[in-house]
Amino acid sequence: MTADTTEPEEYAAGPAERRREQRGWYFYDFACSVYSTSVLTVFLGPYLTSVARAAADAEGFVHPLGIPVRAGSLFAYAVSASIVVAVLAMPLVGAAADRSGRKKPLLAAAAYVGAAATTGMFFLDGDRYLLGAFLLIVANASLSVSMVLYNAYLPQIAEPDERDTVSSRGWAFGYTSGALVLVLNLILYSGHDSFGLTEGEAVRVCLATAGVWWGAFTVVPLRRLRDRRIRPEGAGRSGEGAVGSGWRQLRATLKDMRRHPLTLSFLLAYLIYNDGVQTVISQASIYGSEELGLDQTTLITAVLLVQVLAVAGALGMGRLARTHGAKRTILGSLAVWTLILAAGYFLPAGSPVFFYFLAAAIGLVLGGSQALSRSLFSHLVPRGKEAEYFSAYEMSDRGLSWLGPLVFGLAYQLTGSYRDAIISLVIFFAVGFVLLARVPIRRAVEAAGNPIPDRI
């Protein structure tokens, strides 16, 4: 028999090896963020809607599986369905990773399934709306599953005092790649005639290129990240597979959270308003193209503006939090989000300048509201339970984020108006604001057994 050469889960490598893994880890954000910006936020919503409209009946409905669906609601419903699929898959994948200690093969599988589905969007033409919805569901669910595995590497490749810096650098890599590829997309789309392409062909090339980029740069983290083979407690038991193990661990963590009701209260508030944030981002392009009549070039440059200002907004809101506290700053951002939706409702059609102003406002509150929410939650996690609480945080976040797209899609289904659909999202920010305002943050930090910061 060979000796047991398993490594401990934490800090198995020296500083030089950790830095090498960290640099590889950054590149997965660099690889997959292009999907989020170019595909999900900019191109796919308007394009899939146009494909569905080409297949619609005289009343504007398509009939997947015999169910009447407005062509304009298809994208929102597909996004919602993809999140449901991801939530069902994540406990299975998470449990398999925990039991085997082999996250890298699972990360590779999720990444390349998603990249292949995205590349396959090149064939989305004519009236193939069902193909488009299927590829969107597969790609979006794969991204969600891969991000759980990707995030799970952070405690292994960075010591506690390194994690804020390492996490921020990964986030910066993602925004950089998203902006870079959007610039290239803008050049291709705007000059499609000079490249010998139709407008639709240019969009399909942009979609497929995001999949190729995702797959190509995923090679870097797969070469540099290492798996730590560990033997989880109870690994030798029989009678329960990865599925049961995954759901059992989630149930145990949620049960433990009941002993910290103030932490749960904050988590509920975050899940509701963050669902509104994610829905605004994913549906903004459809609103701009279908309701406001804006061209794709305007939408691309608006998203570029969001990408740039999100970094500045996060830094600015961080400074505000140091002065006024994170809770008050987040509450202020939720008020701004509500004003953004109200302004969007009254935005005149065919006015790109006003849309740019709206994009600038989104950028200024987007990065900060999410970054401060994560840091505020970290104060409410009992010491020694960071990993399991943040795992439940990730699962719960993904688990509720199907609701916003569903509400958006239903509002359009019932009214036929994207203005009514966009204003329906106010409920997420209003309810989130009220719930967060009622959480006594200082008492919640104290109840979790953590030191209370001077400003929170």
pLDDT in tens, 377-402: 777 878 766 556 666 666 666 656 67
Q: Which pLDDT band holds residue 250 (cuts at 50, 70, 90)?
A: low
* Contact (CB, 8 A) for 35 and 279: no
Element holding 70 (H helix, E strand): strand 69-70
289 Cβ partners below 8 Å, 6+ apart? 45, 46, 49, 295, 296, 299
Confidence band for 10, pLDDT divided at 50, 70 and 90:
very low
pLDDT-derived band at 237, boundaries 50, 70, 90: very low
> For the segment 87-137, what is each residue's pLDDT rounded down to a tens digit?
788 777 876 776 777 889 999 999 999 999 999 999 998 889 999 999 999
pLDDT at 2: 38
| Digit-coded pLDDT (tens) for 321-359 | 878 888 999 999 999 999 999 999 999 988 899 999 999
The pLDDT tens digits of the residues spanning 350-363 come to: 889 999 999 999 98
Q: Which of 158-162, 194-198, 259-263, 383-387: highest mean pLDDT?
A: 194-198
Q: In the chain, what percentage of residues exceed pLDDT 90?
A: 37
**Residue 164 — very low, low, confident or very high, per pLDDT cuts 50/70/90?**
low
Asked if 347 contacts 254 with a C-beta cutoff of 8 angstroms, the reply is: no
b/e per residue 298-312 (b: at least 16 CB within 10 A): bbbbbbbbbbebbbe
> What distance in Å separates the CA atoms of residue 453 and residue 320, rounded to the nearest whole number?
15
Cα separation of the two ends of the chain: 55
pLDDT tens for 205-225 read: 999 999 999 999 999 999 999
Is the distance from CB of 449 to CB of 383 less than 8 angstroms?
Answer: yes
Q: According to the 3-state scheme, what is the secondary structure of 182-216?
A: HHHHHHHHHCCCCCCCCHHHHHHHHHHHHHHHHHH
